[in-house]
């Protein structure tokens, strides 16, 4: 089986805005004949059903209410390990990439809910949120907010969580996509993630997320890029700086440690080995971090 890539592609969304996340408590499911699926959420059961293996199941009882979503990475005979993953929209079953989300027109401060999870070996799942807005001038989607929360350690009983969302622009989005993943890029058999009672909370009314301190004026060019980028930034003091390029599943795909000098700094980074898609670039000193969006074409 192909490995599931959680890089976000262009979203195809409806025109009406939902007040909250569709089927956020996973209480409504549809019987598809050979498998069941949570309404409003796509997963890999349609692909694995022929082997009677199901990575997305209806758990009961929920943290509150009758049901919850039960995601488990499982070995599929003849294919390998299929990740336990669900997307609030649709998954392209040819490329295994999320291809659609749901209409959403707010700037929430947090994603909240209840979860249980455990990973085996070096596997690590995640919960990711992407808010975008259609750019009519360029005929593409702009990232308004992107956040990926890695699942560290383990939570063996129902626990509430709050994930603060990071904003890259001041725009109001028109669509949202949420990815629940029991595994990382190399799924391990039986890693699991159970989720219930998802909700957006709070409001970010202005500006982008304030996360910079000594590091200022960070920029990436060219952007979009192909084979090489230059990352520039202004540092208030000399010291070590880490520049990480992360895919939209929160996995670090390139890392560079440099010694910054006071004032203007820059570093050239080879990106020829990166697949086409959207990435987040973090520029971090010992105090705080700036995050910039990078597009590889």
Q: Do residues 57 and 177 share a domain?
A: yes
The HSE-up count of residue 253 (CA atoms within 13 Å, CB side) is 24
Q: The domain that contains 266 carries what CATH number?
A: 2.60.40.3080
pLDDT of residue 214: 64
Measured CA to CA, the distance from residue 200 to residue 45 in angstroms comes to: 27
pLDDT of residue 149: 86
Any domain includes 137: yes
pLDDT of residue 259: 85
Any domain includes 50: yes
Bridge-based pairing state of the strands 155-164 and 140-150: unpaired
Output the six-digit token pair for 126: 């995640």
Q: Do residues 186 and 219 share a domain?
A: no
Any domain includes 8: no
Report the number of distinct structural domains present in the chain.
Answer: 2
Any domain includes 5: no
Q: The domain that contains 168 carries what CATH number?
A: 2.60.120.890
Measured CA to CA, the distance from residue 115 to residue 157 in angstroms comes to: 8
Residues 6+ apart with CB under 8 A from 32: 45, 46
Of 146, 167, 201, which residue sits at a domain end?
A: 201
Q: Does an H or E element contain 48, and which?
A: helix 45-48
Of 136, 169, 201, which residue sits at a domain end?
A: 201
In the predicted model, residues of the chain with pLDDT beneath 70 are 1-19, 92-99, 206-215, 248-251, 286-289
Any domain includes 162: yes
Q: Do residues 197 and 230 share a domain?
A: no
pLDDT of residue 2: 40
Contact at 8 Å (CB) between 213 and 92? no
Any domain includes 13: no
Q: Do residues 251 and 196 share a domain?
A: no
pLDDT of residue 278: 82
pLDDT of residue 22: 94
Contact at 8 Å (CB) between 169 and 142? yes
Contact at 8 Å (CB) between 30 and 50? no
Residues 6+ apart with CB under 8 A from 189: 73, 74, 75, 81, 120
Helix (H, G, I), strand (E, B) or coil at 31: strand
pLDDT of residue 62: 95
45 — phi, psi (to 5°)? -60, -35
Contact at 8 Å (CB) between 196 and 158? yes
Q: Do residues 131 and 161 share a domain?
A: yes
Measured CA to CA, the distance from residue 122 to residue 187 in angstroms comes to: 9
Of 172, 201, 230, which residue sits at a domain end?
A: 201
Helix (H, G, I), strand (E, B) or coil at 99: strand
DSSP per-residue string spanning 126-188: EEEEEEEEEETTTTEEEEEEEEEEE--S-EEEEEEEEEEPPBSSSPPPSEEEEEEESS-SS--
Which domain range does residue 148 map to?
29-201
Q: Do residues 177 and 291 share a domain?
A: no
Q: Do residues 135 and 262 share a domain?
A: no
Q: Do residues 37 and 181 share a domain?
A: yes
Q: Do residues 55 and 182 share a domain?
A: yes
């Amino acid at each position: 089986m192909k490995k599931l890539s959680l890089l976000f592609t262009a979203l195809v969304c409806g025109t009406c805005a939902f007040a909250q996340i569709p089927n956020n408590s996973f209480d409504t499911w549809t019987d598809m004949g050979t498998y069941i699926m949570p309404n409003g959420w796509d997963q890999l059961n349609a692909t694995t059903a022929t082997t009677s293996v199901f990575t997305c199941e209806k758990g009961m009882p929920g943290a509150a209410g009758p049901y919850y979503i039960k995601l488990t990475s499982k070995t599929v005979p003849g294919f390998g390990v299929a990740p336990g993953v669900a997307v609030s929209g649709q998954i392209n079953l040819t490329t295994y990439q999320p291809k659609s989300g749901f209409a959403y027109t707010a700037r929430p401060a947090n994603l909240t809910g209840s979860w249980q999870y455990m990973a085996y070996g070096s596997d690590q799942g995640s919960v990711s949120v992407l808010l975008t807005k259609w750019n009519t001038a360029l005929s593409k989607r702009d990232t308004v907010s992107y956040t990926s929360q890695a699942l560290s350690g383990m939570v063996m009983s129902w626990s509430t969580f709050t994930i603060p969302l990071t904003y890259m622009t001041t725009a109001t989005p028109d669509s949202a996509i949420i990815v629940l993943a029991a595994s990382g890029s190399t799924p391990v058999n039986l890693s699991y993630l159970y989720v219930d009672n998802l909700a957006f909370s709070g409001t970010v009314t202005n500006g982008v997320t304030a996360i910079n301190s000594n590091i200022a004026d960070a920029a990436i060019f060219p952007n979009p890029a192909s084979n090489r980028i230059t990352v520039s930034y202004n540092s208030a003091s000399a010291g070590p700086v880490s520049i990480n390029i992360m895919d939209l599943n929160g996995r670090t795909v390139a890392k560079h440690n440099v010694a910054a000098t006071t004032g203007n700094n820059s570093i050239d980074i080879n990106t020829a080995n990166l697949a086409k898609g959207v990435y987040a670039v973090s520029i971090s000193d010992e105090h705080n971090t700036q995050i910039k969006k990078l597009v590889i074409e």
